[in-house]
């Protein structure tokens, strides 16, 4: 059928990657320098599939990763990413112990279970509880009652949390332990949501389920309304990214740490990653600014030998030789991008780096030969950039896009009535002082002079990760619909590129109108 084929005339303008990029090899191209041509399509955006297999043991339901940056990914962000089908890489600008517990928080996150429910003590007065509700603006008034050791001794129901009982002690008003229905955490099994759902079906009128351990210590609270919301979400198109034990997936970054003699500290790296593996981390990223270097290669080799089944991400590189080197050392996925990030100054400070689309093409072709995945890292500002990056890479890493989300670490700042969150490069002075200097090959002793390769900035607060991802995914699916690509493999096959002139770029954005509302 002629309609399904691209006409030969089109082919002379809109070229596949292997023609387009070699034909433009004299110029470094980035996202705005190119645009994608449409292709015959029978694919509706909503029917497109976004799964991506990064390594034999690591599959994401959406091709989105939040980076190991100290203003982007800690456990809250990693949980939100995994719940949406993606992956968060916990940064290493914190003591190793803390990084381990951040990973544990993600791995032990039971969707729907409040792990640290607000609890009250038997000697408190109902008046104290009412005051707490008012001060902390709680929208609920039923609380588990525990003793000083955390052992469950009853439930304070909302029926008695009333001003008329303010002078009564919690101990007098609680429903005693024997009458409170609970589940042992072991009984939650592989699918806690289904187990809790069954519990609520069996216990008519009970809206709160307390989870305890063998010693009757309180471990969590599951509410009927949360279970009903999650059950509805189960029909959602993009499911949470989980491991074989139904736990959310989580990645963590490590650096190529050196000892006092300047040699690679193999023992420390192995102990650290060994502890991460014990906590069931799903991928480890050896993150540095210059991945095509001996320290990174040796670290990857050491980890590959010690943990052959652990998915290893390494970077960053922008050359085919860099990808081949890291793949030969044992990396399964390679981060491509140098100096593209919104907070990066590597190209200005060091005069080094390659515009992102050219870098991705060069890296992608080497990666295909070596059978490793490419993660497009940095420079992504809009969903159209994600679509372009995914024509060459298996997933994208976005820092700036997620830094303004509620789930990113750090306080929200108010400036002139607008809300912002801090976002800084890991090569900024402040981040390097907090520990990331090794990533940039800079002295780790704060007294020594360092050259910053990143800036400190703020991002406008942009709400939840769910909301931001919904917009990005909508854009990716729309791009796939235009190219007639049912999945990411087809997107890579069907992509046809053309250069954009400066006037063409102006044409791409709203023009010659008075904008009343942005697209967002």
**Chain residues that interact with ligand XMP, rule: CB under 6 A:** 67, 69, 289, 316, 337, 339, 341-344, 346, 377-380, 397-400, 425-428, 453-454
Minimum distance from CB of 83 to ligand XMP (Å)? 21
Q: Give CA–CA dist 75/103, Å, rounded.
A: 7
8 Å CB contact between 43 and 485: yes
Cβ-contact 469, 477 below 8 angstroms: no
Beta carbon nearer to ligand XMP, 318 or 428: 428
Taking the CA atoms of 191, 276, 75 and 400 in sequence, report the sign of the dihedral they define.
Answer: negative
| Minimum gap (Å) between residue 58 Cβ and ligand XMP | 18
Please report how close the Cβ of residue 239 comes to ligand XMP at its closest, in angstroms: 25
> What Rg do the C-alpha atoms of the chain give, in angstroms?
26
Give least dist CB 327 to ligand XMP, A. Answer: 19
- Are the C-beta atoms of 497 and 15 separated by less than 8 Å? yes
Which of the following is catalytic: 424, 439, 492, 496? 439
Asked whether 318 and 344 are in contact (CB, 8 A), the reply is: no
- Widest distance between CA atoms in the chain: 85
CA 269 to chain CA centroid, nearest Å: 23
Handedness of CA 434, 435, 440, 446 (dihedral sign): positive
**Looking at beta carbons, which residue is closest to ligand XMP?**
454
Out of 250, 329, 344, 405, pick the active-site residue.
Answer: 344
- Is residue 439 annotated as part of the catalytic site, yes or no? yes
**What whole-number distance in Å separates Cα of residue 176 and Cα of residue 210?**
13
The span from the first CA to the last CA of the chain, in angstroms, equals 39
Min dist. Cβ of residue 213 to ligand XMP (A): 39
* Smallest gap from residue 350 Cβ to ligand XMP (A): 8
**97 catalytic, yes or no?**
no
At a CB cut-off of 8 Å and minimum separation 6, what does 59 contact?
51, 52, 53, 241
Q: Which is nearer to ligand XMP, 188 or 334 (CB)?
A: 334
**Beta-strand relationship, 412-415 and 418-424:** antiparallel
CA distance 56 to 39: 31
3-state class of 386 per DSSP? helix
Tell me how crowded residue 469 is: count the other CB atoms within 10 A of its CB.
Answer: 23
> In angstroms, rounded to a whole number, what is the distance separating the alpha carbons of residues 183 and 344?
50
Residue with tokens 């996202």: 31
Contact 182, 195 (CB under 8 A): no
In whole angstroms, the minimum distance from the beta carbon of 421 to ligand XMP comes to 13
Nearest to 289 by CA among 360, 341, 358, 331: 341
DSSP 100-114: HHHHHHHHT--TTEE
- Beta strand 373-377 with 395-397 is parallel
Residues belonging to the active site: 344, 439
């Amino acid at each position: 059928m002629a309609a399904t084929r691209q006409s030969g005339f089109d082919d002379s303008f809109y070229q596949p990657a292997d023609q387009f990029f070699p034909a433009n090899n004299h110029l470094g191209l980035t996202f705005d320098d190119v645009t994608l041509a449409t292709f015959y399509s029978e694919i509706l955006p909503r029917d497109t599939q976004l799964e991506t297999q990064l390594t034999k043991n690591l599959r994401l339901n959406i091709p989105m990763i939040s980076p190991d940056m100290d203003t982007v990914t800690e456990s809250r962000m990693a949980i939100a990413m995994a719940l949406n089908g993606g992956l968060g890489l916990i940064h290493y600008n914190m003591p190793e112990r803390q990084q381990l517990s951040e990973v544990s928080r993600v791995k032990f996150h039971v969707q729907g279970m409040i792990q640290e429910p607000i609890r009250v003590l038997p000697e408190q007065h109902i008046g104290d509880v009412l005051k707490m509700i008012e001060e902390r603006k709680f929208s609920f008034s039923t609380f588990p009652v525990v003793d000083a050791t955390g052992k469950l001794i009853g439930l304070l129901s909302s029926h008695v949390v009333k001003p008329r009982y303010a002078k009564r002690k919690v101990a007098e008003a609680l429903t005693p332990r024997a009458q409170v229905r609970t589940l042992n955490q072991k009984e939650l099994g592989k699918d806690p949501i289904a187990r809790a759902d069954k519990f609520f079906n069996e216990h008519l009128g009970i809206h709160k389920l307390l989870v305890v351990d063998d010693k009757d210590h309180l471990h969590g609270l599951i509410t009927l309304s949360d279970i009903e919301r999650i059950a509805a979400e189960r029909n959602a198109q993009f499911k949470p990214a989980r491991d074989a034990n139904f736990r959310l997936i989580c990645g963590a970054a490590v650096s190529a740490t050196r000892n006092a003699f300047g040699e690679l500290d193999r023992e420390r790296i192995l102990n650290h990653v060994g502890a991460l593996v014990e906590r069931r981390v799903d991928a480890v990223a050896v993150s540095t600014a210059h991945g095509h270097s001996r320290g990174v290669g040796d670290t990857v080799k050491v980890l590959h030998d010690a943990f052959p089944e652990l998915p290893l991400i390494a970077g960053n590189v922008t050359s085919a030789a860099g990808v081949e080197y890291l793949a030969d050392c044992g990396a399964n996925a390679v981060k491509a991008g140098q100096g593209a990030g919104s907070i990066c100054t590597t190209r200005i400070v060091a005069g080094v780096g390659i515009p992102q689309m050219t870098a991705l093409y060069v890296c992608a072709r080497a990666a295909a030969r070596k059978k490793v995945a490419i993660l497009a890292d940095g420079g992504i500002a809009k969903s159209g950039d994600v679509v372009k990056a995914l024509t060459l890479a298996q997933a994208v890493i976005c820092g700036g896009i997620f830094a303004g989300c509620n789930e990113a670490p750090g306080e929200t700042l108010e400036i002139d009535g607008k809300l912002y969150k801090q976002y800084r490069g890991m090569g900024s002075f402040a981040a390097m002082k907090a520990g990331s200097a090794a990533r940039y090959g800079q002295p780790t002793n704060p007294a020594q002079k360092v050259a910053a390769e990143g800036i400190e900035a703020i991002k406008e607060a942009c709400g939840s990760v769910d909301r931001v991802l919904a917009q990005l995914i909508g854009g990716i699916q729309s791009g796939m619909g235009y190219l007639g690509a049912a999945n990411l493999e087809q997107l890579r096959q069907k992509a046809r590129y053309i250069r954009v002139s400066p006037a063409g770029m102006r044409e791409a954005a709203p023009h010659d109108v008075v904008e009343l509302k942005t697209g967002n």
